[in-house]
Structure 1
Amino acid sequence: MIPVTPQVPELSGDELRRLYRLLTAVRQLDLAAVAWQRQGIIPGYAPELGQEAAQVGSAFAMDRSRDFIFPTYREMGTALTLGVDMVQYMATHKASWHGGLYDPVATRLAPIQAVVGGSVLHAVGWSHGQRLEAQAGGGIPAEGLPAALTYFGDGASSQGDVHEAMNFAAVLKAPVIFFVQNNGWAISLPTEAQVAGGTVAARAAGYGMKSLTVDGNDAPAVVTATREALAHTRAGHGPVLIEAMTYRRGPHSTSDDPGRYRTLEEERRDAGSDPVELLAARLLAEGHADQDFLAAAKTDAISGADKIREGVQALTPRPGAEMFDFVFAEPTEQLKNQALTWRKESEHD
């Protein structure tokens, strides 16, 4: 039997305003990044238009002093919410450094993961380690266990790695949240064509795992769902699966043409509420903000994106020798020889 988790409090007006500023910043940076790719500033990018609330809301709920988030290649909104230096984050999209130049330990954001479903395994390993440390220290601390949150899409949920990760997490009661951004598409394949039953959340029952389904376009609802999941897993009750129902409004990547597998009419019909507009309407209706606040948030977001572009353009190629520096803690003789050969060939020593 899955324990019942206490209800978490409603978000304050200040939290809602902070959420809106973050959503707006992510929206404008995402739009800008697509433009940068078209302009040749970066070679590739995975847009997240329509998924801002799912990412910002989930990251907003995490404790940056002790929790850890394991992203895929599409979590720019999560990185921005955590306060990651966005020029260092965009280094991957500039092809300057695989995984991002930011410090994962300091930011609590693991390196960008390009392997589909790969980050899920890492999250379970890290969270299991947290539980083992707690057991060695005498049990679950009063403030609860540190928790991991890992992202993947409805398409990645069909990977065998995800099944294995969920099974291990449930058996070991690892404090991890599996956050599924169900954006309706696994590249060009619609969810109904590759997820039996239509939802990923239904699978949680097979692992004896708590699950939550939330409107992924509603940022405050995502925050609340994530906080509920955190309360459950911190108490030692095991993992939680959150399925945020949203929609990928743009292409899978800047090399994708969604017009080959869906029409503009279908996109408009299925996209649902725009995350930014939905939160703006709530702020106005509840008296937490006015039009001046909304306009200022957008102006600041555009200005921020422009500054990030300048930083991205200033990024230079990393020294090639670095490719040998982070493979093993103690380099093997073979690696040393490879490095020596490379230096002779590239530097003409």
Structure 2
Amino acid sequence: MPRSRPTPIPAESADTDSAFQAAKATYDAGQQAGNMLQLIAPDGAVVRPELLPEPETRLHLYRQMRRARHFDERGWVLYRQGRMGVFPPFGGMEASQVGTAAALTADDWLFPTYRDTGAALTLGLPIARAIAYWRTSPHGWHMPENLKVLPFYIPIATQYPQAVGAALAEQKQGTRNIAMAFIGDGGSSEGDFHEALNFAGALNAPCVFILQNNGWAISVPTHSQTRATDLSRRAEGYGIPGVRVDGNDALATYHVTREAVERARSGGGPTLIETVTYRVKPHTVADDPSRYRTDADSAGWDAKDPVLRLRTHLLQGGLMGEADEAALLAEIAVEFEAALTEADGYPDPRPEEILDHVFAEPTPQLRQQREQILAEVEA
């Protein structure tokens, strides 16, 4: 019997194309809407003086942003030298990561995505450990015992429900510790995202959910994967507060996150924070973004650079001088090179180490696999 030919898929109609363009225009307009909190403008000018944190906090945020950017920039060099594996750069998103993680203490939980190295460094992850992780070395697979940072999540959105579980555990133990979980705009379309928000809202879990809207889910623009133009409003469906903030303004990001953290500590429950930023860098160091986005897509975002914005504010306000910054940058460079030397000194991993941190107690299957690996190595 002859096989029937598949029915050709009709070309996209003019009406469908028009609807898509209309949705894109609506989304783009929403990104520029004035419904997100901003404390300092892109030129460093103060917008909301009554909400500015104390000078010490502003200087601390700048230091952490510079540390994060230095890691990101040196990571590119190490990758090209063959001294670090593929990793997702986060340059341009420092305010979104540092401004949120800086509101935590070492007793709180941090559930980062693969792009949130800056947040982990801010909370206290040693630089050498982060380098080891992106080298796929076992020395970077487990976090320091005195720090509640989970390894960087590669699966999309699985960290959200797990963060709720950690927060509820702290709640049952009677602590004031909270959990913070990160996700991207693309991840907010995953089922785990919605389940976690409902879970946290229903049980009043002390959680802060960070939704970094950086415009892209790998090669898919946000306006293609959702017609929503204010992702923070997704919180309304679960009866929890939702806040939208300029994710390139470290001071605004810190302000709203600190409020959310304190609300969670005091029993006020979870909050969803959408930080509106932009992924100016490729998806990973091995990615070629020119295949799916144009210069027009990224136009204007360099002028909103979060590091330069806070730098300008500090210089204009007399909180930092050129010499102070030069000394800071030199100190950060020395810190990184010392950490790199430490990471270079880690012994080469043994094949069986791949099984060491799967479970706290090895299962019979893991023990059998270890024996097989050791036998192959000896052979």
Same fold (TM over 0.5): yes
Query: In structure 2, what is the equivalent of residue 16 of structure 1?
Result: 58
The superposition leaves residues 189-231 of structure 1 with CA deviations (integer Å, 9 ceiling, x where unpaired) of 1111112312320110000010111111111111111111112
Deviation at 1:235, TM superposition (A): 2.1
| Change over 3 Å in CA distance of 1:176–1:41 after alignment to 2 | same
Give the Cα–Cα distance (whole angstroms) in 2 for the partners of residues 309 and 268 of structure 1. Answer: 35
Give the Cα–Cα distance (whole angstroms) in 1 for the partners of residues 346 and 298 of structure 2. Answer: 36
Question: SS of 1:42's equivalent?
Answer: coil
| Change over 3 Å in CA distance of 1:296–1:164 after alignment to 2 | same
| Change over 3 Å in CA distance of 1:47–1:310 after alignment to 2 | same
Deviation at 1:322, TM superposition (A): 2.5
The superposition leaves residues 280-314 of structure 1 with CA deviations (integer Å, 9 ceiling, x where unpaired) of 11112222111112222222223333333333333
Question: SS of 1:77's equivalent?
Answer: helix
Query: In structure 2, what is the equivalent of residue 118 of structure 1?
Result: 158
Query: In structure 2, what is the equivalent of residue 229 of structure 1?
Result: 260
Give the alignment's Cα RMSD to 1 decimal. Answer: 1.9
- Choose which of 121, 127, 134 in structure 2 pairs with 1:93: 134
Kept in 2: contact 1:100–1:112 (CA 8 A): no
Give the Cα–Cα distance (whole angstroms) in 2 for the partners of residues 116 and 44 of structure 1. Answer: 18
| Change over 3 Å in CA distance of 1:334–1:61 after alignment to 2 | closer
Give the Cα–Cα distance (whole angstroms) in 2 for the partners of residues 216 and 123 of structure 1. Answer: 22
- Choose which of 140, 153, 177 in structure 2 pairs with 1:146: 177
Aligned length: 330
Query: In structure 2, what is the equivalent of residue 63 of structure 1?
Result: 105
Counterparts of residues 1-349 of structure 1 (less than 5 Å): 10-64=52-106, 66-97=107-138, 100-103=141-144, 105-134=145-174, 145-271=176-302, 273-348=304-379
Deviation at 1:76, TM superposition (A): 1.4
Deviation at 1:121, TM superposition (A): 1.8
| Change over 3 Å in CA distance of 1:35–1:131 after alignment to 2 | same
Kept in 2: contact 1:248–1:271 (CA 8 A): no
* TM-score normalised over the length of structure 2: 0.82
Kept in 2: contact 1:177–1:239 (CA 8 A): yes
Give the Cα–Cα distance (whole angstroms) in 2 for the partners of residues 343 and 159 of structure 1. Answer: 40
Give the Cα–Cα distance (whole angstroms) in 2 for the partners of residues 124 and 290 of structure 1. Answer: 43
Kept in 1: contact 2:105–2:123 (CA 8 A): no
Give the Cα–Cα distance (whole angstroms) in 1 for the partners of residues 290 and 80 of structure 2. Answer: 17
Amino acid at match of 2:307: V
Kept in 2: contact 1:90–1:100 (CA 8 A): no
Deviation at 1:160, TM superposition (A): 0.8
Kept in 2: contact 1:154–1:195 (CA 8 A): no
The superposition leaves residues 40-84 of structure 1 with CA deviations (integer Å, 9 ceiling, x where unpaired) of 1112111001101111111111122x2111111111111221222
Give the Cα–Cα distance (whole angstroms) in 1 for the partners of residues 142 and 345 of structure 2. Answer: 14
Question: Which deviates more, 76-85 or 207-216?
Answer: 76-85
Give the Cα–Cα distance (whole angstroms) in 2 for the partners of residues 331 and 27 of structure 1. Answer: 39
Amino acid at match of 2:130: Y
| Change over 3 Å in CA distance of 1:324–1:207 after alignment to 2 | same
Question: SS of 1:92's equivalent?
Answer: helix
Kept in 1: contact 2:314–2:320 (CA 8 A): yes
| Change over 3 Å in CA distance of 1:108–1:171 after alignment to 2 | same
Deviation at 1:101, TM superposition (A): 4.2
Give the Cα–Cα distance (whole angstroms) in 1 for the partners of residues 143 and 348 of structure 2. Answer: 16
Amino acid at match of 1:204: A
Give the Cα–Cα distance (whole angstroms) in 1 for the partners of residues 140 and 205 of structure 2. Answer: 25
Deviation at 1:265, TM superposition (A): 4.0
Give the Cα–Cα distance (whole angstroms) in 1 for the partners of residues 303 and 213 of structure 2. Answer: 13
| Change over 3 Å in CA distance of 1:83–1:323 after alignment to 2 | same
Give the Cα–Cα distance (whole angstroms) in 1 for the partners of residues 252 and 85 of structure 2. Answer: 35
Kept in 2: contact 1:213–1:242 (CA 8 A): yes
> Unmatched 5+ residue regions in structure 1?
1-7, 135-140
